[in-house]
Amino acid sequence: MGQSQCVETQPGSGNYGSVTASSWSGCGASQMKSNYDRMAVRCACDDNSRGGRAVIPDSIIFDAQDGEDDDALEVEVFEFQSVNWRAHEVIPPGWARSALPVPKCFFLGGGDACCIEQLNAKVKTRRILVALPGWAVDKASARWLSRTTMEMRNVCKLTRYVPEPEQEFAFLEFEYPAGETLETLLESKGRLSESGAKSVCRDLLSCAVVNCISTPLRFRGLLDASSVFTTTAGTLSSIVPLGGLLSYKGIKACVTRLVESGADALLPPELARAIQRGNRMGVLHPGNASASDTYSVMATVLASMTNTAKQRPAAVLSNEATTKAMSQFANDLLRKALYKDPGFRLNCNEALSHPWLQAER
């Protein structure tokens, strides 16, 4: 990459930098399509890296496993009644199914899931097995995440990926996440205080910045309070990245399911719009995925502060009584990070530098 620096730009903002010919060639941004000229340019490196980081192969970023005609396929919402785990031989020797409940977030894709635990072990080790149709899983991302030895900060570990040769199912095995979900915390507290929301917001954005900029991992905007696990102190414990392991068709089925069930209030608007229009690149392009992650993080934070998980962020922010209850800095950040147009939305790095999150550190 030489000495060129990756520059992120916010169209119309006037103070977030500009893109030069050298930075385009240095960051591989020639892959950008002409219809994304209003989107922020997101490069696979971060501002603090020395000389930048390796660019992720297109085969991972663009979900190259699917054929060219996939966008034209009608993807039906799928629901498993029950998977015969033993018949598929995915429970390892010395392990057995556990009665421990499976957290809600592992059913995000609409598949089946169960908890397993190691037998005759001094310290109980538990895992979550998730079953999805083979076509719903992004093979490259799942294979990469299951094989990586890199420490993924605050991300629930994918310990095993088992694709079936016939593509009937793909099985994902995760560590059992520690702590309680943000959703459970909100059910008991009703809402987070502004200071508590600020802490969760900072943790979530930091996680997205550290893990999503230089790796194939993306949350694809499929992040909510049920997939965020917190410690007893209310800080971030881990995020379950199931949404980032779905193929385009898997995301399409997931979003369709959420829309049809009325559970789509916190979905990034451009995600649902791209799915409806069959705009594959609108979902999978890294710049779009980054903007969607910012939206889902901030929408989750807003819902946590206001107890409005079933309302769209735009409606919440237009409520004068709600916004008056928040500080001016909180209002400012939430509005700038929840723009309907992703091209004008703050990215995670810029949001972390906002005065609301910098104060009282």
Asked, for residue 63, whether it belongs to a domain, the answer is no
66-74 long-range CB contacts below 8 Å, 24 or more apart? 66/247, 66/248, 66/249, 70/248, 70/249, 70/280, 71/248, 71/278, 71/280, 72/278, 73/249
The pLDDT value recorded for residue 63 is: 34
- Asked whether residue 353 is assigned to any structural domain, the reply reads yes
Q: Residues 197, 99: one domain?
A: no
Would 91 be classed as within a structural domain? yes
Q: What is the Cα–Cα distance from 233 to 237, expressed in whole angstroms?
A: 10
pLDDT along the chain (361 residues), means of 10: 36 32 31 31 32 34 36 56 87 93 92 93 90 93 87 88 86 94 90 92 90 79 92 88 92 89 90 86 79 91 93 94 93 94 89 88 54
Same domain flag for 185 and 164:
no
Consecutive H or E run containing 194: helix 194-212
Task: Please tell me the distance from the alpha carbon of residue 255 to that of residue 77, in angstroms, as a whole number.
Answer: 9
| 185 and 132 within one domain | no
Rounded distance between C-alpha atoms, residue 293 and residue 274, angstroms: 15
pLDDT at residue 58, as a whole number? 33
Closest among 132, 91, 134 to 111, alpha carbons compared: 132
Rounded to two decimals, the pTM is 0.76
Among 149, 175, 201, which residue terminates a domain? 175
Residue 66 lies in a domain: no
Report if residue 64 sits inside a domain: no
Q: What is the pLDDT of residue 52?
A: 34
Q: Pull the structure tokens for residue 126.
A: 């538990």
Q: Containing domain of residue 20, as a range?
A: 1-55
Domain count of the fold of the chain: 3
Query: Tokens at residue 208, please?
Result: 């997205």
Q: What is the pLDDT of residues 309-334, one digit of tens each?
A: 899 999 999 999 999 999 999 999 99
User: Which pLDDT score is estimated for 284?
Assistant: 80
Q: Are residues 199 and 300 in the same domain?
A: yes
* Whether residue 140 is found in the same domain as residue 252: no
Predicted pLDDT of residue 77: 61
| pLDDT value for 129 | 97
Residue where a domain stops, chosen among 144, 175, 206: 175
Q: Are residues 206 and 158 in the same domain?
A: no
Are 132 and 168 within one domain?
A: yes
Residues 17 and 166 in one domain: no
| CA-closest candidate to residue 306, choices 159, 195, 217, 193 | 193
At which of 175, 191, 221 does a domain end?
Answer: 175
The H or E element that residue 160 is part of is strand 158-163
Measuring CA to CA, which residue among 120, 14, 117, 136 is closest to residue 65? 136
| Same domain flag for 100 and 197 | no
